[in-house]
Structure formats: structure tokens, C-alpha cells
Amino acid sequence: MCQLLGMNCNTPTDIIFSFEGFRRRGGLTDEHSDGWGIAFFEGEGCRLFLDYLPSISSPVADLVRAYPIKSTNVIAHIRKATQGQINLANTHPFGRELWGQYWIFAHNGNLSDLPSLEQGRFLPVGSTDSEHAYCWILNQLAERFQSPPSFAALRDTLKELSSTLAQHGTFNFLLSNGQVMFAHCSTKLHYLVRQAPFCHAHLSDTDLAVDFSRETQPSDRVAMIATEPLTDNENWTAMQSGQLIMLIDGTIQP
Amino acid sequence: MCQLLGMNCNTPTDIIFSFEGFRRRGGLTDEHSDGWGIAFFEGEGCRLFLDYLPSISSPVADLVRAYPIKSTNVIAHIRKATQGQINLANTHPFGRELWGQYWIFAHNGNLSDLPSLEQGRFLPVGSTDSEHAYCWILNQLAERFQSPPSFAALRDTLKELSSTLAQHGTFNFLLSNGQVMFAHCSTKLHYLVRQAPFCHAHLSDTDLAVDFSRETQPSDRVAMIATEPLTDNENWTAMQSGQLIMLIDGTIQP
């Protein structure tokens, strides 16, 4: 299937270290070579880099590695196609505007017999189950809330909607509007919060380490979410099936 | 204000030559240094590269120059801010999905006292007059057409909507869904169709030339649209105030 990478933090942070390990799974250390994408929120704006080339050999991935974009919310995805051709329209993350906010979504899993989108205002451009599910969620949110609800109300609604969609297959996903990030686990998703005292971290996919104590301020808090742990010397927490977490400023909300 | 660059062609073509001249106007040969962006349609998918740095010094622009993305519809914009801060949310082109199609828009001009968006489903994320006008157009289209209308009906509607918005100020714009491109001139916009027999072209903004007869097939047809002509040895046509043209496959539709 695919792999997900998310970052949510309280101060704009670059994702170069983690991305270096993650991109290797797109054709080098793993088989997810059917395209990739990454979205960086900067304020209310968002940059979305997409490529249908494998992330290990993509010139766009070289740029992302070389250009330290600082962001408080990042969602990345490397694809192993299950439904839909390998092309740009089927490349995650997907983006839409709702309530005057950009919402970015990426999915790992495979869904079938999804509910119809006939009455909704959001429609998929490509042919993946993922974009169909994403549009269904946005249609439900748009129907229930005329303006942005509280984060708590949003979480409750997303929990209900995710639970409905998870009945149609595997539904691990990340969703963010640049302020808040939601992570839903159906089968596999791990998270980690980096905060003071910061320590060394070593990537699982290549022999690269970083000393975060030299790169950070004591007040920094960075939450990472990944399908598989990205480092081999930090304590990643495995999410439970059916669990939805909400992250704001690098903190998992109680 | 800003400058626009558009390309519409019958076969996927890279825009590296034209972009090389255009990007120099973002801080080198001209003053449009408040960010820039470029959208490439590939099939129904779209890549949108944005940066709030001047296009002459942007690492993202270096990537676009080095990575020959082939596309049939491209829209680029370099910004000289009139309304709205210099940040990513205010950087053109803007993108939304309507009728299961991505629609990309970029504007040159300045608008005031725009009609309200209260009842519409598309809302601006940033604070520019341009994104407000774009959302207003999409709201009007969504209200009038439940599914994609014919290109002719779309052109008639856009002509009417553009004429309404042009009463609020200067409204030169480019709009595309990857199949068709619309260009509206309020004060300044030029176009050119390159087709066989292809010849040499020489940029106005730097001493760079290309022999298109060596880069093309005889059946290729490439329409270029730009605020100011990009080359100094080709016959660019100045559009008339109030004129809206529709381009498909590199041809201006009668």
C-alpha cells in the first residue's frame, strides 16, 4: 500500500532529517515507488509538491531535501498504487478549500464500495479510493458545519466519519488545515513527540543521525507521525486500531 | 502590479525558455519581486509551485528551470503586491476543484468594492482582491452549472462575469482546467501562436535564443500569453480591453 509521514509542531521546523529517511522507502529501502507528495503549511498558505516519479529519484524530492522549508504542519505520502493509475491526479496528498481554509489529506490503505458522492460539492479529480473517501469526508463536514466548528466538535465528527469509512477497508490517514492535525489508525500508524531534553536521533533507513539539542530551542515541541517508525533509537508509540488523535502545537490533545 | 504568463498547446511542451525570461522580471529586469508561482497541468492532475521569494532568487524557480515538466496548460504569475501581505496564502496562482476538475487562476490588476461572497461555497484563504474575485467567479459558475457546461457556454458566462468584475478595477487574468484556457484583458495582455514553420526566438529580458524548429514536430501548436511580450523578434498581438479569448490545443477558438 503506501506510507504516511506527518509533522505537527509549535514552531516552524524543517522536516529534512525525517524526509531523508522517508523518501528512501520510495524505491530504495522499500517498494513505495508509484509517486509521492508533500504539503507544507506556512501560515494559512500551503505548498504542495507532487511527483509521479519514485521519491528516491525525483528532482522535486531533491529540492525538498535541499530547501529547508520551515512549517508547523507537514503531510507527506509515498505511494504503492492499489487503485487508480500512476499519474499526477492520483498522487497524494490531496488538497481542497473548506471554510476558507486549505485542508490536506493523505491515505494509506485500500477501500471498496464507498458511499456515493452524488449530492456533495466536493468531487474527486482522479480515480483513487483515497480521494473519493476524502471528498466524502469534506462533503459531510460542509453539510454539518456552515463555518469552522470547534476543534473538539471536529474531532468528534471525524471520529464518527472515520469509523464509518473504516468499515469499507483499511483507512489510515492524516488530515490538517495548518493549525490542527488529525491522524487516524486503522492498521498501522506510529507517533513520537520530540521535546526538551532533546537527544540524538538515528534514521532506520540510512546511517544518518542528528543531534536535536543543537537544532532546537528548549520550548520547541515536534510531534512526528509515520506508518513505520523513522528512527531506530527513539520510543515510537503504535496507535490502536480505530484510534483518532488530534495534534495542536506538537501536543496530542487529551 | 503583477505579470502573467500562460501556455496552451496541443502536445505536452516544457516552458523552460519562456520561464527563463519571465522569472527575470521578478527582481532582476523588473520589480515584481513579492513572490511567484507556476501551475502545470499533466492530464487532469496539476502541480502548483509557489514561493514568496522573488522568482529570480527562488530555489523553487531553480527547480522549475532545471526540471523540464511537459504540460499542455501552464499558468505562471510574478507578484508586485497591491493588496494583501507577502505570504504564501496570497501567492498566485490559486487553485480550487469544481465539477471534479482543478481550476487554476492568476490575476494582474487591482480590484476594489468586490461583491460579497456570503452565500458562496468558495471562500478565499488569503487576503487579496484577486482570490476574492476568483472565488466569486467559481461561486457563480457552481450556481449556474451543476456539471461542466460546454466550452462555448463557459466562455459566454465568463465574458459576462469578467465584464462585471472589470467594473471594480483592473482585471487581466488567466484561468484553466487543463483542457481549456481563458485569458481576459482589461489593460494589458499579449498573445502569440507558435506553429510550423517554427523559427528562432530571442528573449527580451536576457540574451537567450532558441531554434524551435529543432525542438518541435511540424504538427505542434503552442499559444503563449504574457502581460508583456517575452521575445523581441516575434509578432505578439496585443489584446483589446474587455476581450476574452478561449484557447484549446494551442488554437484561439473562433
Q: What is the pLDDT of residue B155?
A: 98
Rounded to two decimals, the ipTM of the complex is: 0.94
Report chain B's C-alpha Rg in angstroms.
Answer: 17
Place of cell 522569472: B23
Query: Which grid coordinates are listed for B252?
Result: 484561439
- Chain B residue closest to A45 (CA)? B89
Q: Are A230 and A205 in contact (CB under 8 A)?
A: yes
**pLDDT of B178 above 90:** yes
Residue B1 binned pLDDT confidence (cut-offs 50, 70, 90)? low
What is the phi/psi pair of residue B59, to 5°? -60, -30
- In one-letter notation, the amino acid at residue B239 is M
Summarize pLDDT for B78-113 with one digit per residue, the tens.
Answer: 988 788 889 999 999 999 999 999 999 999 999 999
First-to-last C-alpha distance (Å) of chain B: 30
Interface test with B, best of A36, A88, A136 (most B CBs within 10 A): A88
Report chain A's C-alpha Rg in angstroms.
Answer: 17
Query: Which grid coordinates are listed for A244?
Result: 483518532
Domain positions in chain B are 3-252
Q: What is the pLDDT of residue B36?
A: 92
Q: Are B56 and B4 in contact (CB under 8 A)?
A: no
**pLDDT of B191 above 90:** yes
The single-letter DSSP state of residue A169 is B
What is the phi/psi pair of residue B89, to 5°? -65, -25
Per-residue pLDDT of chain A (254 residues; tens, 9 = 90+): 689 999 999 999 999 888 888 888 877 777 778 889 999 999 999 999 999 888 888 888 888 888 889 999 999 999 887 888 899 999 999 999 999 999 999 999 999 999 999 878 999 999 999 999 999 999 999 999 999 999 999 999 999 999 999 999 999 999 999 999 999 999 999 999 999 999 889 998 888 888 888 888 999 999 999 999 999 999 999 999 999 999 999 999 99
| A89: nearest CB among B45, B51, B67 | B45
- Chain A residue closest to B90 (CA)? A45
Rounded to whole angstroms, the Cα distance separating A79 from A74 reads: 17
The distance of A64 to chain B (nearest Cα, Å) reads: 9
The distance of B38 to chain A (nearest Cα, Å) reads: 12
Residue A129 burial (CB < 10 Å; 0-12/13-18/19+)? buried
CATH 3.60.20.10 fits A3-252, yes or no: yes
Q: Tell which residue, B93, B18, B91, has the closest CA to residue B54.
A: B91
Q: What is the pLDDT of residue A134?
A: 98
Q: What is the pLDDT of residue B57?
A: 86
Rounded to whole angstroms, the Cα distance separating A53 from B71 reads: 16
Average pLDDT, chain B: 93
User: A50 and B50 in contact by Cβ < 8 A?
Assistant: no
Cβ neighbour number for residue B43 with a 10 Å cutoff: 17
Q: What is the pLDDT of residue A1?
A: 67
Q: Are B230 and B21 in contact (CB under 8 A)?
A: yes
Q: Tell which residue, A16, A18, A92, A1, has the closest CA to residue A51.
A: A92
Element (H, E) at B21: helix B16-24
For chain B, the residues whose C-beta falls within 8 A of a C-beta of chain A are 42-51, 59-60, 63, 66-67, 87-91, 95-97, 99-102, 121-126, 142
Half-sphere CA count of A70, side-chain side, radius 13 A = 6
